[in-house]
Amino acid sequence: MKLRLKCNEATALLLAREDRPLPLWQQLALQAHLVACRACPVVERQLLIMRRAMRVWREESTSGPD
Ligand SMILES: [Zn+2]
C-alpha cells in the first residue's frame, strides 16, 4: 500500500473508477493526489464530462424512436 501516486497511476485509477468501484485506500490515494496535483484534476473533470455525455447518449439510444 502506498499513498503517493504518480500522475500516470492516478490517471489509471481515474479510468478504472469508471468501470468498477476502487478499494478505499486507492480512493484515498487518488484524492490525496488530486489535491496535490495540478494536471490530474483536469483529467478528472474531462472524464466526468465524458461520462455525462455517454449517459445522455446511452439514454437517447435506448429510448428508441418515438
Ligand atoms: Zn497528477
What's the burial of 22, exposed, middle or buried (CB within 10 Å: 0-12/13-18/19+)? middle
In this prediction, residue 37 has a pLDDT band, given cuts at 50, 70 and 90, of very high
Q: How confident is the model at residue 18 (pLDDT cuts 50, 70, 90)?
A: confident
The whole-model pTM stands at 0.76
Kindly list the protein residues that place their beta carbon closer than 5 angstroms to ligand 1, a single-atom ion: 7, 10, 37, 39-40
Give 25's Cβ-side CA count (13 Å radius): 5
pLDDT greater than 80 at residue 34? yes
CA atoms in the 13 A half-sphere facing the CB of 58: 6
How many Å lie between the centroid of ligand 1 and the Cα of residue 57? Answer: 29
| Domain boundary assignment for the chain | 7-63
Q: For residue 32, what are the CA distances in angstroms to 52, 61, 63?
A: 24, 37, 39
Q: What percent of the chain has pLDDT over 90?
A: 68
* pLDDT at 45 > cutoff 90: yes
